[in-house]
Amino acid sequence: MSARPTTDIGTTDATAPAPGSSRPSSQMKMGNRTAEVDQPMLQMLLSDIYNQFEGSQEMEEYRDRHNINSAAVLTVIDDETAAALVEHLKPRIEGKTVVEIGGGIGLLSLHIARVAKRVYCFEANPLWSWTFAKVLLSQKPKNISYIFGAADEFVGTIQADVTVIATHSDIAGMRLVGQQFAPAVIDIYGEIIDTNPEAFDPFARRARYYA
């Protein structure tokens, strides 16, 4: 398994630049406010967390307790990717209640909340639960809730119009759970890969065969 989070629709190159790099921070714009996101620092932090905990005894025991089958590979950690995915989703999520399963650091749900009526973001993996806290403190709107826990533990408590899955692993399992939240389940990367498979990240294409 790669220790590098997937950062955009076409590549998996999330390698942080060397110290002293002049690569600029990205600007996250939500509503009328703007927060600077130090993208190289975020990438370095995520890689450090992954390398320290993924495959550890504690992580394996946690997965067993919470029945986590998905890989600890992030698919959305930059605004460009999140914005592109929301543009793809917009006709089906605008003004609706949306559940995202496997939300990672929560960036996609933050963007979804700009067009959806209500958003619930589930993430069961504790590795990512605090890495996005600074941005959430300054930018999180009231119409989104981040829930740290396995989504199947909340079936029957939330009714949504659409479930969104943005992952390359355990797709069947997430889809099954997603159907219990909403009548429509969107495997967004699956749709994009089907449209133009050769333009997509080779790792992601291979991973989906085993999902």
Residues 26-76: pLDDT tens digits?
443 333 333 345 566 666 766 766 676 677 787 778 777 877 766 666 778
Strands 144-148, 162-165: parallel, antiparallel or unpaired by DSSP?
Answer: unpaired
- Over residues 188-211, the mean pLDDT reads 65
Alpha-carbon gap, residue 111 to 53, rounded angstroms: 28
Residue 110's pLDDT band, with cuts at 50, 70 and 90, is very high
**What pLDDT, on the 0 to 100 scale, is given for residue 7?**
37
The two structure tokens encoding residue 88: 């793809």
Say which residue the tokens 């291979």 belong to.
206
Residue 163's pLDDT band, with cuts at 50, 70 and 90, is very high
Which residues have C-beta within 8 Å of that of residue 167, sequence separation ≥ 6?
70, 75, 102, 174, 189, 211
Alpha-carbon gap, residue 141 to 93, rounded angstroms: 17
Answer whether CATH 3.40.50.150 is correct for domain 26-209.
yes
Q: Residue 18 in contact with residue 41, Cβ under 8 Å?
A: no
Q: What mean pLDDT is reported for the chain? A: 75
Least confident of 18-27, 132-141, 202-211: 18-27
Residue 4's pLDDT band, with cuts at 50, 70 and 90, is very low
- Over residues 114-125, the mean pLDDT reads 94
Least confident of 32-46, 88-102, 176-190: 32-46
Alpha-carbon gap, residue 81 to 200, rounded angstroms: 13
For residues 98-124, one letter each, b for 16 or more C-beta atoms within 10 angstroms of the residue's C-beta and e for the rest, the string is: bbbbbbbbbbbbbbbbbbbebbbbbbb
Pick from 149, 145, 138: nearest CA to 177: 149
**What pLDDT, on the 0 to 100 scale, is given for residue 159?**
97
**What pLDDT, on the 0 to 100 scale, is given for residue 73?**
65
**What pLDDT, on the 0 to 100 scale, is given for residue 209?**
46
Tell whether the model's pLDDT for residue 88 goes beyond 90.
yes
End-to-end, the C-alpha distance of the chain in Å comes to 13
pTM to 2 decimals?
A: 0.69
Tell whether the model's pLDDT for residue 3 goes beyond 50.
no
Alpha-carbon gap, residue 55 to 78, rounded angstroms: 25
Residue 164's pLDDT band, with cuts at 50, 70 and 90, is very high
